[in-house]
Amino acid sequence: MMTMTVQTASTKKERKKGKRWTIHLFPIPALIIYALFVLYPILAALSYSFYSFNGFSRESFVGFNNFITLFTTEPYGSMFLNAFKNNVLYFILQMIVMNGLAFLLAFIIYKKVKGAEFFKIAFFLPRLLSVIVVGFLWKLILNPNFGTLNMLLGKLGLEELQRAWLGDPNTALVSIILVNCWFGLGFGVLIFLAGFQSIPVELVEAAKLDGAKGMTMLRKIYLPLMVPSILIMTVLTFIQSFEAFELVYAMQGSMGEPYFSTDTLAVFFYRLAFGSSTSGSSDAIGLGSALATVLFFFILVCTMVFLKFMNKKEVQM
């Protein structure tokens, strides 16, 4: 906008066009609905973290007591640490497996393989399923005694690899994360593909005329131009990894079974705020809100850093 007004001769007319006050109405509808149905309830609930609760009734203002309890009292302290570690693994594995694979697949499709339409649809179909369905299907596939995976391993003569994937604390979390990768892969492909396809054809052609090939093309042309979509996917994967809840809850319940090996911060939060229906509920609303607040600020700060980086990159381009 700024550059434009400087460039054009008839400045007065342009200012009138570009900067009419009505432009300020553009973000209003989204803001109103978002503020009413997301910001307001969340802020209202965040304030709970400063109160003590007796069952459902809010009692007195206790300052930072809930936060102190969360970090210094057992079992909360070690549960928090354990869940946090699991979230970190969630993020790392998703970045490598899901986003890595999605980038590769998007590149292959962009390069126009035969049947690209079919593959795009195939990769994306899992994303259409409800998480409940996903959890149910994979619980069955990973079932130790009659699940497809163990049967397949048996037929391949790899019996020593067979195990109770979701019951063994060593494999449960990784299994869940890989299922999540299966689920989210298609979305990554879409984003990266949209990114590849936004690259001006002229740039690619020009580089080719200069004789760039293979890895050089990737490093010099594709990667730099894909930075916006890579950053979007990184931010999204980060937030989604630290908010990981639905799939763990659907497959391993609100206790992060077995023995908290699949526990995540959001599952821990749910357990605190809503209790566990199979073990008798224990609604610790104050603690749950405190945990959500901590989680919120952690993600907030990290995202800010990411976005700073994003803006910088754009300036360079």
Q: Which of residues 109-168 bind other proteins (CB under 8 A)?
A: 109, 111-114, 117-134, 136-148, 151, 163-168
Please report how close the Cβ of residue 50 comes to other proteins at its closest, in angstroms.
14
Please report how close the Cβ of residue 223 comes to other proteins at its closest, in angstroms.
15
C-alpha dist (Å) from residue 260 to 86, 238, 288, 315 = 10, 21, 17, 44
Residues between 12 and 41 that touch other proteins (CB under 8 A):
14, 17-18, 20, 22-34, 36-41
Please report how close the Cβ of residue 111 comes to other proteins at its closest, in angstroms.
6
Cα Rg of the chain (Å, integer) = 24
* Number of residues in contact with other proteins under rule CB under 8 A: 143
C-alpha dist (Å) from residue 80 to 77, 245, 253 = 5, 15, 17
- Among the listed residues 193, 241, 247, 262, the single contact to other proteins using CB under 8 A: 193
- Among the listed residues 52, 65, 234, 276, the single contact to other proteins using CB under 8 A: 276
Please report how close the Cβ of residue 241 comes to other proteins at its closest, in angstroms.
12
61: which strand partners? Answer: 51
Q: What is the per-residue burial (b if ≥16 Cβ within 10 Å, else e) of 41-53? A: eeeeeeebbbbbb
Task: Verify binding: residue 98, other proteins, rule CB under 8 A.
Answer: no
Q: Give the span between the Cα atoms of 232 and 229, in whole angstroms.
A: 5
Only segment of 60-68, 81-89, 90-98, 185-193 that touches other proteins (CB under 8 A): 185-193
For residue 51, the surrounding DSSP H or E stretch is strand 51-54
58: which strand partners? Answer: 53
Q: From residue 48 to residue 87, what is the string marking binding to other proteins with x (rule CB under 8 A)? A: -------xxx-----------------x------------
Only segment of 60-68, 84-92, 277-285 that touches other proteins (CB under 8 A): 277-285
Tell me which residue of 296, 83, 268, 92 sits closest to 181, measured CA to CA. Answer: 92
